[in-house]
Amino acid sequence: MKTLPELKYTKNHEWARIDGNAAVCGITDFAQEQLGDIVFVELPEIGADVTKDGKLGVVESVKAASDVFAPLSGKVIERNGALESAPETVNKDAFGEGWIARVELSDPTEIASLMDAAAYEKFAAEEHH
């Protein structure tokens, strides 16, 4: 399982890359491994308001469909349209090209509630057993 130290993580296996008053969000490498081959990504609409731990989108794999939850509250200002024609990018590069949406944060204090990479690795390892 791969993590990146500069990202923040949730118990729902999403990540957030904080960028000023916005955050780029996606699912973790652990999540894409659990899901298997991803065949469809339902992206949020631009301008949609999302709440922390509320639905951001859906990722469907050959095994299951899984809701993607927003790691932080705010408004969707960008979405990764490339995933519509190439959903497998999430498998190949979950923390990079496989990002799902960029959210303008409405409550930056929520960042403090997210896990760092070390805490997330421990959480994912415990959940896996």
Using one digit for the tens of pLDDT, what is the confidence trace for 68-79? 999 999 999 999
Q: What is the pTM of this model?
A: 0.96
Token output for 102 = 């960029």
Q: What does the pLDDT look like over 53-68, one tens digit per residue?
A: 999 999 999 999 999 9
CA separation, residue 45 to residues 3, 56, 75, 117 (Å): 27, 9, 10, 29
Q: What is the pLDDT of residue 10?
A: 98
| Structural domains of the chain, with CATH | 8-122 (2.40.50.100)
Contact 71, 114 (CB under 8 A): yes
